[in-house]
A and B are shown apart, each in its own frame.
Chain A
Amino acid sequence: MTLLERLQNSRNALGLLFMLPAAVLLLLFLTYPLGLGTWLGFTDAKIGRAGEWVGLDNFSFLIGDSVTQLALFNTLIYTFVASVIKFALGLWLALLLNRNLPYKSFFRAVVLLPWIVPTALSAIAFWWIYDAQFSVISWVLTRLGLISSYIDFLGEPWHARLSTIAANVWRGVPFVAISLLAGLQTISPSFYEASAIDGATAWQQFRHVTLPLLSPIIAVVMTFSVLFTFTDFQLIYVLTRGGPLNATHLMATLAFQRAIPGGALGEGAALATLMVPFLLAAIMFSYFGLQRQAWQQGSDR
Chain B
Amino acid sequence: MTKEHFDRRRFLEGTAGVAAGTALSGASVWAPAVHAQSALSFKPEPGAKLRVLRWSRFVQGDIDAYMANVKRFTEKTGVEVRVDNEGWEDVRPKAAVAANTGAGPDIILSTNDDANLYPEKLLDVTDLCDYLGKKYGGWYPAGEAYLKPDGKRWIGVPLGCAGAMMVYRESMIKAAGFDTFPKDTDGFLRMFKALKDKGTPGGMALGNATGDSGWTHWLMWAFGGSIVDANNRVVIDSIETYRALEYARELYPTFVPGTLSWLDPNNNKAFLDGQISVTNNGISIYYAAKNSPDPKLKEIAADMNHATFPVGPVGKPTEYHLFFNQMIMKYTKYPQAAKEFLRFMMEADQFNAWIAGGGGYVSQPLRAYASNPIWTSDPKNTPYRDAFANLRPAGYAGKLGYASAGALADFIVANMVAEAASGSKSPKEAAERAQKRAERYYKV
Contact = CB atoms under 8 A, between A and B. Distances in A.
Interface of A: 46-50, 61, 65-67, 130-134, 149-150, 152-157, 160, 240-246, 257-258, 260-264
A48 B93 CA distance: 7
Nearest to B275: A133
A107 B406 CA distance: 49
A257 B99 CA distance: 21
25 contacts: A46-B402, A47-B93, A47-B96, A61-B440, A132-B270, A133-B258, A134-B269, A150-B258, A154-B261, A155-B258, A155-B260, A155-B261, A155-B262, A156-B260, A243-B206, A243-B260, A244-B260, A245-B419, A245-B422, A258-B410, A261-B89, A261-B92, A263-B117, A263-B402, A264-B406
Contacts of A260: 92-93
A46 B436 contact: no
Given A133-B273, A262-B406, A153 B261 contact: yes
User: Most chain-A CB neighbours within 10 Å: which of B97, B261, B262?
Assistant: B261
A98 B329 CA distance: 63
Contacts of B89: 261
A58 B436 CA distance: 16
A132 B258 contact: yes
B436 A66 contact: yes
Size band of the interface chain B makes with A: 35 or more
A62 to B, nearest CB: 10
Contacts of B207: 154-155, 240-241, 243-244
A263 B405 contact: yes
B260 A263 contact: no
Tell me the interface secondary structure of chain B in the complex. helix
B405 A262 contact: yes
B51 interface: no
A149 B422 CA distance: 18
A43 to B, nearest CB: 14
A50 B102 CA distance: 13
A47 B409 CA distance: 13
Contacts of A65: 437, 440
B409 A257 contact: yes
B424 A134 contact: no
Interface string B247-262: 0000000001111111
Contacts of B93: 47-48, 260, 263
A198 B354 CA distance: 85
A17 B258 CA distance: 59
A48 B100 contact: yes
A122 B98 CA distance: 34
A65 B422 CA distance: 22
B418 interface: yes
A80 to B, nearest CB: 23
Contacts of B256: 132-133
Contacts of A241: 207-209, 263
Given A150-B258, A155-B257, A244-B260, A132 B406 contact: no
B208 A152 contact: no
Nearest to B425: A245
A61 B443 CA distance: 11
Given A66-B433, A263-B406, A263-B409, A48 B98 contact: yes
A152 B258 contact: yes
B101 interface: yes
A61 B441 CA distance: 11
A157 B260 CA distance: 9
B99 A243 contact: no
Contact of B96 (A48, A149, A160, A258): A48
B415 interface: yes
B210 interface: yes
A133 B260 contact: no
B313 to A, nearest CB: 27
B261 A133 contact: no
Contacts of B275: 133
A149 B275 CA distance: 13
A61 B406 CA distance: 15
Contacts of A263: 92-93, 96, 117, 402, 405-406, 409
B258 A154 contact: yes
A132 B415 contact: no
Contacts of A258: 406, 409-410
Interface in B388-442: 402, 405-406, 409-410, 415, 418-419, 422, 424, 433, 436-437, 440
Given A245-B419, A257-B409, A262-B410, 16 more contacts: A47-B93, A48-B97, A48-B98, A48-B99, A49-B100, A132-B256, A133-B266, A133-B273, A155-B257, A155-B258, A155-B262, A243-B418, A245-B260, A262-B406, A263-B402, A263-B405
B118 interface: yes
Nearest to A50: B100
A157 B262 CA distance: 13
A16 B256 CA distance: 65
Contacts of A152: 257-258, 260-261
A46 B257 contact: no
